[in-house]
């Protein structure tokens, strides 16, 4: 089985496009290649950086973030209904059914919530990118919830300190938190099987130049499938 991994982190003063480009280029410089899918929210700078640095990869807009953005356009009394309708898109048994249900939900929403229907329609390829991969990994790749949980843990630990005296102090604390979480993921949390990951990258994978151990192979596959 493959595990979740914390591959890298960088301290930047603002979350803009240049910061994200520097971060992704750092990963590429360290050997990251062949990325098939990147999962994130719709931050404009991050999207631009992904398109420039990881060109050729698909982009999945985080389902959780998208749902929050969508429901912000819906009256509170109807949010439960709309959320249930949108979730039904992701509960389908095949990629064909996913797209068919997406189309039906858009049509149903037009009557009462045209702005919501337009937003859902415009985001078709962004939120349905997961359906191009094996169904066995859909739950793992249609959102970046694991990353968000990690972010909350980092915030919880850094809030205790409040003000850091310098960058080195931040790096020590956050680096320790990430190393601790990475160790937990590597030992206890299962992510995807190697066989499923092979299927996910089969259409564009290249023959390996040397035989790899299973542990090394699964690490490479995880990094390539989900950045």
pLDDT of residue 1: 32
pLDDT digit string (tens) for the chain, length 227 residues: 334 455 566 666 667 778 888 889 988 988 888 888 999 999 899 999 999 999 889 999 999 999 999 999 999 999 999 999 999 999 999 999 999 999 999 999 999 999 999 999 999 999 999 999 988 889 889 998 877 888 888 888 888 888 888 888 888 888 888 888 777 767 766 566 666 667 666 644 444 444 345 445 445 544 444 44
Angle of helix 95-110 relative to helix 79-90, nearest 10 degrees?
A: 160
pLDDT of residue 159: 84
Residue owning tokens 């949980």: 149
Residue owning tokens 């937003």: 119
* DSSP tag of 191: E
Angle of helix 167-188 relative to helix 145-161, nearest 10 degrees?
A: 140
Tokens standing for 145?
């919830």
pLDDT of residue 14: 67
């Amino acid at each position: 089985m493959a595990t979740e991994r914390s591959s890298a982190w960088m301290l930047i003063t603002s979350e803009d496009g240049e910061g994200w480009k520097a971060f992704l280029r750092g990963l590429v410089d360290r050997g990251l290649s062949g990325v098939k899918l990147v999962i994130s929210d719709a931050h404009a700078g991050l999207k631009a950086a992904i398109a420039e640095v990881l060109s050729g990869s698909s982009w999945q807009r985080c389902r959780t973030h998208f749902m929050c953005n969508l429901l912000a356009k819906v009256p509170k009394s109807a949010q439960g209904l709309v959320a249930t309708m949108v979730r039904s898109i992701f509960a389908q048994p095949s990629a064909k059914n996913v797209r068919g249900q997406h189309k039906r939900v858009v049509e149903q929403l037009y009557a009462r919530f045209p702005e919501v229907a337009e937003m859902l329609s415009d985001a078709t390829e962004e939120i349905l990118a997961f359906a191009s991969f094996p169904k066995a990994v859909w739950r793992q790749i249609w959102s970046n919830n694991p990353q968000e949980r990690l972010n909350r843990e980092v915030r919880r630990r850094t809030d205790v300190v409040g003000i850091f005296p310098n960058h080195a102090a931040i790096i020590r604390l956050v680096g320790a938190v990430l190393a601790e979480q990475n160790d937990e993921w590597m030992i206890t949390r299962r992510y995807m099987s190697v066989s499923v990951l092979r299927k996910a990258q089969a259409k564009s994978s290249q023959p390996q130049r040397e035989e790899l151990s299973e542990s090394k192979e699964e690490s490479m596959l995880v990094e390539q499938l989900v950045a």
